Amino acid sequence: MLSDLRLSLAAEMIRDHVALDGIDRYCQETGVQCNDFVPLEPVDFKGRILAVDGSNVSVCGWSVASINLIRSGYVVYQGRDWKRTVITFDDIFFADPAISAEQFAPHLGRLGQKEISLTEEDLDRLSTYFRELQEYVSLDDAIRWANPGDIILYDGSFDVFEPLRAALSNVFRRAEEKGVALLAVAKSSSLYWGEGISLPFIHHTNQAGSMILPNSPWYLNLKGKKVNRGPGKWGGESYIVRFTGRSGYAFRVDVPAYLAGKVEPVLAGISSCSTSAECPGYPHALFRAHRDIRITENEGASVRMKLIEKLCLEGMSPTQVKMLMLDYHDILEMRQRI
């Protein structure tokens, strides 16, 4: 049984390393200075904001392959007003290394990437890669329908691993040609600083910003800062942004290279559209995209039940279906309840 002593030690470690009493050590070790926090003045944005998101739910798996329900799309806002939601992909994906190439090929081709190269350790990420690819297709579709000067937001980070980097680079090129601002806003991030123990960079930067610019939106460029940023080979710059002074949250924002020197007015426009009472401090278009596009637990269960019905109609026995649809851990848990 877990002892209170172990929990006390964990609480002590969090207090000593995660809680930020002052910013001197943080500034010294990360290279962040007080003047790096740039005040952000919200500007009422009259153009369109398009926000892209995706969702992925496992339907069933049989150790060497699986079936996943994947959905991707985007919402369209005119200023602060929602206009429509567009679903660009809503289908099942067979995550099987033996047939993955033919499933990726038509979507890669649309984005100008000839093929995807996967190593053995990538194979368990097939569904994640395919969902990300569908999100890039949604980005491409949003760019096609956007007007010059519009803003397109992506839920996530652009600092991706090698397999889909070429497709994303082509998305950047098309956004630049169209004259739209394309940014990625990450709800969570693994950015960290410090030695000996990994310290949460965004959490501490948000606290530091609250001390330096209280009750104010701001942004911070990570260029030249001592922070672990992951692969870092996507060719753009990353920022930490607090979109409104009333919010207690800051976010990682990735900005492609073609927007270098032009990002402040874009962030100011996003700031003005991040004041909704539903999600204060977060771009409302991304909030709506998450709500409209996500696959709910009930939807996943419904698809799973329909698949079970189809399997039975195909002549599979209940025992065969149970072996296919249940993890043995689930079987052990059911036996405990009997």
Q: What is the CATH number of the domain that holds 76?
A: 3.30.2170
pLDDT at 72 over 80: yes
Q: Which of 257, 273, 293 is the last residue of a domain?
A: 293
Claim to verify: residue 307 and residue 208 sit in the same structural domain? no
Whether residue 116 contacts residue 129, with contact meaning beta carbons closer than 8 Å, is answered with yes
Whether residue 27 lies inside any domain: the answer is no
Q: Is the pLDDT at 256 greater than 90, yes or no?
A: yes
Same domain, 307 and 325: yes
254 and 311 share a domain?
no
Give the model's pLDDT for residue 37.
97
Classify the phi-psi angles of 179: left when phi > 0, otherwise alpha if psi is within -120 to 50, otherwise beta: left
Average pLDDT, the chain: 89
Residues near 251 by beta carbon (within 8 Å), at least 6 away in sequence: 185, 186, 187, 189, 202, 240, 241, 242, 243, 282
Domain limits for position 327: 297-337
Same domain, 51 and 106: yes
Q: What is the pLDDT of residues 187-245, one digit of tens each?
A: 888 888 887 778 889 999 999 999 999 999 999 999 999 988 766 678 899 999 999 99
Q: Is residue 173 part of a domain?
A: yes
Residue 169 and residue 313 in one domain: no
Domain count, the chain: 2
Residues 275 and 305 in one domain: no
What are 120's two structure tokens? 């053995």
Residue 144 sits in the same domain as residue 244: yes
Pairwise CA distance, residues 111 & 177, whole Å: 14
Which of the listed residues 293, 310, 327 is the one where a domain comes to its end? 293
Determine which of 64-73, 94-103, 146-155 has the lowest per-residue pLDDT on average. 94-103
Question: Are 318 and 266 within one domain?
Answer: no
Task: Give domain status of residue 302, yes or no.
Answer: yes
Same domain, 113 and 125: yes
In the chain, the percentage of residues whose pLDDT exceeds 70 is 93
**pLDDT band at 161, cuts 50/70/90?**
confident
